[in-house]
Amino acid sequence: MALGAIVLTIASCKVPALIQVEEHSHAPSAYHTSLDTVNSGSLPWRTFFTDKNLVSLIDTALKNNQELNITLQEIEIAKNEVRLKQGELMPSVSARLGLDVEKVGRYTSQGAGDASTEISPGKEMPDPLMDYALGAYAHWEVDIWEKLRNSKKAAITRYLATVEGKNFVLSNLISEIANSYYELQALDSELDLVKQNITLQKNALELVKVQKDASRVTELAVQKFSAEVLNSQSLEFDIQQNIKETENKINLLLGRYPQEIPRNEKSFITMEPAMVNAGIPSQLLVNRPDVKQAELALSAAKLDVKVARAQFYPSLGISAGLGLQAFKPSYLVKFPESMLYSLAGDLTAPLINRNAIKAEFSTANAKQLQALYNYERTLINAYLEVSIQLSKAANLAKKYSFKAQQVDALTKSISIANDLFKSARADYFEVLMTQRDALDSKLELIETKKEQLITTTSIYRNLGGGWK
């Protein structure tokens, strides 16, 4: 029977002071533009987006998007880390089945002892000596300073942070698909507008040719009108290329090869942005995944500091073994002669050369401060994003109103310029400039409508919407 001794190695250790990090919450008291108690970011994305084609595209992306799938694997990695830390809290038990052979010199202390040992009257110790063993061994580190438990809590917190990271990726993905979809619809409207303008310009060109035949204008006017038609025709192909690139951008987000994107045939210019309620600033702490992720990362960093600090304290380990051992298989069943057991306890603490532990502790403190600054930056950025987008939405609404009036005025001026040109009260240059200004204003109106829809989606995302 063998009983392991308890080894005590205890030293008084001066532990570095723990850097105290206060809780910071610098959420502003108001958005200055909204004091609503309802936050649209809490709405599920299926409720916020009503276009069936857009909803279908988002559903496809949620299944196939590579970035989202990579993030899901990060969650699995974090989950396995939690299981690993959980296992470290429990005793580790292993089984051993061993077969050894040993031949020692006769003229050694062990050889001489084996040679003089009789197993039974008339029977000497066999040479070479076999060793058969069957046993179970266990080791357990007693978590007296909660080092392992804090390590497990940190792993759980990081797992929760990866979940919030997935929600943040999800929110951005849905927003990007919606914005690209609106961009595609805007390009469709621009293409239709340019085609209509080409028809008008061709009619004007025919009129100028008639005027030239009547010697009322020169060949210069004909060439100017012809160049304007060619310019619009080249613009048509630029828009078609932009449509193809935008479609493929959406296909990339959906994780599929190039194909046509179905979209709503409804007139883009008549689409109304969804109503968005900004809520109050404190709701960002609940709705925005990036804010929650930064907060959880800060909590995990605090736990890491506690784990690093516990490295300075003594650790208690308990080891035990139980089994059978003999030099012949038939002797394994002889009790209690073949039985072995052991029990040992180790209480150890670092004495000298603690630089590695100090460095680990300093690193954990530095990472904690990094996490704090990142949390503050994320919170400030969240507020600024909402504030900017709310202001942009209000200004775009006013801009769209004036742009619409400008388009009406220039559309009427086209017919007026044509009438004046026919009666020789305006020259061809005025007609050309009027057509060009009208086209530019209509394209700007479409661009403003697109910005309105994209801004609405951005507000919804910045309020923490899109992942539910």
CA distance 360 to 364: 6
CA distance 58 to 47: 13
Residue 281, in any domain of the structure: yes
pLDDT at position 334 over 50: yes
Amino acid, res. 193: L
Angle between the N-to-C axes of helices 355-422 and 428-462, in degrees from 0 to 180, rounded to the nearest 10? 150
Calculate the dihedral angle through the C-alpha atoms of 299, 305, 85, 164, rounding to the nearest 10 degrees.
20
167-186: per-residue pLDDT in tens?
999 999 999 999 999 999 99
Residue 342, in any domain of the structure: no
Across the chain, mean pLDDT equals 85
Residue 47, in any domain of the structure: yes
Residue 417, in any domain of the structure: yes
- Which residues constitute the domain of residue 212? 24-314+352-462
B/e letters for 16-36, b = 16+ CB within 10 Å, e = fewer, are: eeeeeeeeeeebbeebeebee
B/e letters for 339-375, b = 16+ CB within 10 Å, e = fewer, are: ebeeeebbbebbeeebeebeeebeebbebbeebbebb
371-391: per-residue pLDDT in tens?
999 999 999 999 999 989 999
Number of separate domains in the chain: 1
267, two tokens: 């007139």
Higher-scoring residue by pLDDT: 92, 5: 92
Residue 327, in any domain of the structure: no
Percent of the chain topping pLDDT 70? 90
Amino acid, res. 272: E
Identify the CA nearest to 139 among candidates 300, 285, 315: 315
Residue 383, in any domain of the structure: yes
Domain CATH number, residue 402: 1.20.1600.10
pLDDT at position 59 over 90: yes
Element (H or E) spanning 325, and its range?
Answer: strand 315-326
Percent of the chain topping pLDDT 90? 48
Q: Indicate the pTM of the whole model.
A: 0.81
Phi-psi region of 239 (alpha: psi -120 to 50; beta: other; left: phi over 0): alpha
CA distance 299 to 99: 50
